[in-house]
Amino acid sequence: MSKVCEVSGKKTMFGHKVSHSNRKTNRRFQPNLQKKRFFVPEENRWVELKISTSAIRTINKKGISTVLKEMKEKGAAV
């Protein structure tokens, strides 16, 4: 599976490691992804999402129902 957040769309970024001698080599910055289960009371079911920790904060703020509705509007299969 790819390392992409299902809610925010965050994915791997690329950059450089910079050594003390200022040599630059390529590296990857991975998003902090977690698998998390949420209960949706309107549908009376559990939903498991692979999301970043910042998306967990968004769900805590807006609510899982609102976030799922926004995802369905974008075209995500949930």
CATH architecture of 13-74: Roll (2.30)
pLDDT score for 74: 87
**pLDDT 10s digit of each residue in the chain, 78 long?**
689 999 999 999 999 999 999 999 999 999 999 999 999 999 999 999 999 999 999 999 999 999 999 999 988 776
Cut 0.85: pTM above it: no
The dihedral over CA atoms of 61, 31, 34, 49, expressed in degrees to the nearest 10, equals 70
User: Taking the domains of the chain in order of start, what are their residue ranges?
Assistant: 13-74
pLDDT score for 2: 83
The dihedral over CA atoms of 78, 8, 26, 1, expressed in degrees to the nearest 10, equals -10
